[in-house]
Amino acid sequence: TETTEKNFLPANDIIKEEFSLSRAEVKEFDHKKLNNVEPNVRVKLPSVKDISEEKVATMSEVKTFDSSQLKHIETCLYSQLPTINDIYSEMIPENFPQKNEVLSIKEGIVKLNNVVTEEKAVLPTKEVIHLESVESRCEVITFDKSKLKNVNVEEKNTLPNANVLREELIPDETPAKSELEAIKSIVTLKKSNTNEKSTLPSSQDIQTEKILTRSEVKSFDKNSLKNV
């Protein structure tokens, strides 16, 4: 199959023509048509002198301040904190109980009935715990293994060996030699020659383009520029 190019790349001659046309507009531009514009500064920043003068002016106000004009004011405490004696006096009750009341309380305490507590759920002692541990172990020690029956285990799903896996990899029917030769004949591809339709520029072409572009820059007249 042959390939057809729908979008052709431009040749070197076309690129050079477009390059020269674009540069021609720059060369033909007349700088004399440009108007001179003088910039106007609307918001001027303060100079160093202005800043220093403002500093001196502000400091002079502080230095010339007369502290003798200030009035002396005495502070008064509206809510005073209590002292230690006041706190102790507040802790003492205003009315003390009489002796009769204290004696009646003592008599009431003496008249209380004695109660004997009974434990309904008694916790086991160390001896009981030790006996229980020994009894539980004796069952294991006295167990008769001869009473156990012999059971034969049958594997229902056996895993395959390495030999079985290799046998599964081998196909059941191997292809004939004639089929292999036919496949080899298909594999032989035809040789095709490639033709470059859009060639890349050589190193000489690139150098000539560099020289052409630099010559325009070197031949540019700086004196034709106006000072703005």
21, 9, 4: which is closest to 201 by C-alpha? Answer: 9
Token pair for 173? 């029917």
What is the pLDDT averaged over residues 149-159?
Answer: 85
Would you place residue 186 in the very low, low, confident or very high pLDDT band (cuts 50, 70, 90)?
low
Give the CB-side neighbour count of residue 70, counting CA atoms within 13 A.
5
Percent of the chain at pLDDT exceeding 70: 89
Would you place residue 199 in the very low, low, confident or very high pLDDT band (cuts 50, 70, 90)?
confident
Token pair for 84? 């230690």
* Contact present, 212 and 20 (Cβ < 8 Å): no
Which segments of the chain does DSSP mark as H helices, in order?
12-27, 48-63, 84-91, 99-110, 126-141, 162-169, 177-187, 203-218
Q: Which residue has the tokens 């230095």?
A: 63
Examine the pLDDT at 215 and tell me if it is beyond 70: no
What are the C-alpha distances in Å from 55 to residues 29, 51, 63, 65?
54, 6, 12, 16
Q: Which residue has the higher pLDDT, 220 or 40?
A: 40
What is the pLDDT averaged over residues 131-153?
Answer: 79
Examine the pLDDT at 223 and tell me if it is beyond 80: no
* Contact present, 38 and 228 (Cβ < 8 Å): no
Phi, psi of 186 (to 5 degrees): -70, -35
- The most confident of the ranges 2-6, 55-59, 201-205 is 201-205
The Cα 142–Cα 130 span in angstroms is: 18
* Contact present, 201 and 12 (Cβ < 8 Å): yes
Q: Rg of the chain over CA atoms, in angstroms? A: 58
Give residue 109's pLDDT. Answer: 65
Which segments of 48-125 does DSSP mark as H helices, in order?
48-63, 84-91, 99-110
